[in-house]
Amino acid sequence: MANFLLIHGAMGGAWCWERVIPGLEAAGHDAVAIDLPGQGSDATPLSEITLYRYADAVCDALDVMDGPVLLTGHSMGGMVITQAGSQRPDKLAGLIYVAAFLPQPGQSLIEITHLPEAAGDSVQANLVVEGDPPVSTMPPEAAPEALYHCCTQEQIDWALPRRGSQPVIPFTNPFTPPEDLDAAAFHALPRAYVTCLQDRAIRPPVQELMFTRAGCDPVMEIDTDHSPWLSRPDELVAALDRVAGVLAAR
C-alpha cells in the first residue's frame, strides 16, 4: 500500500483527481488531493501566489500525513512537487510526474516552454493573459482541442465549468532548492514519469527530454491527451499502481 498526495496543474483543483482516487483506493492505496493556493476552494489572495507558496502548501499537507508519501503532480504540478520535494525529502517515498513539468535547478516553467523540444504546444497558443498581477485563462472553446481531445463529450462537459484562472507569477518562478537542502536525500528520491503520447500541451519530445535528464525510472506511457486523469483514469490508476509496486520492491 502506498500513500499518494496528488497535486493538480494550472487552472485546476483537487477536483481533477476525483476520477482517479477511487481506483487508487480500490487498489489498496491511500490517496488525497489538495487545492493549491488560489485554486479550487482556496481563497489565498492573488498577490500572494508564487511557486514557493504552492510548495509551502504541499509541505503543510505532507507534514500531517503518515509517510512515506508518493508525491504526484500533473502538468504545472510537476514544478510544485519538485520544489516541495526539495523541502521535505524525508517525507517522501518518491516523486511521480504525470505529463508534468520537471525542472532542473534554476529553471522555470516558462523557460521549459521555450525549449526547442516544446515548440508547437497548444496551451501557449491559446492562453489569454490579463491584469496586474497577470492572470491567464483559456477560452472554453480552445480547451477541448488543447487539453481534452481524447475525452468524451461527457468528460469535457464535466471539466470545463470547473476550470479556473491561473496566476502567471508561478510560471516565472524558478525551481530553487532551499539553502539547507539535504542534497543527498533529495537526489536519492526515486522519480517516475507517466508520459502522454498525444499530449498537445507539453509535447512528448520535451517530456522525454525532462524525464531523461532527471533519470526517471520507471517511465510509463499512456496513449492519450494531456489530461489522463479525465480521458483515461483507469489507465492512469494502473500506471500509478505499477509505479508504487516498482518503487516498493527496490
Q: Per residue in 133-150, is it b (16+ CB within 10 Å) or e — as a string?
A: eebbbbeeebbbebbbbb
Which H helix or E strand runs over 80? helix 77-87
Average pLDDT of the segment spanning 19-42: 96
pLDDT in tens, 43-90: 999 889 999 999 999 999 999 999 899 999 999 999 999 999 999 999
Q: What is the DSSP string of 191-235?
A: EEEEEETT-SSS-HHHHHHHHHHTT-SSEEEE-S-S-HHHHSHHH
Separation between Cα atoms, residue 49 and residue 181, nearest integer Å: 23
Average pLDDT of the segment spanning 158-173: 96
CATH number for position 72:
3.40.50.1820
Cell 472554453 belongs to residue? 140
**What's the domain range around 186?**
3-248
- Count of structural domains, the chain: 1
pLDDT at 181 over 90: no
Separation between Cα atoms, residue 66 and residue 75, nearest integer Å: 25
Active site members: 75
Query: Model confidence at 124, in pLDDT bands (50, 70, 90)?
Result: confident
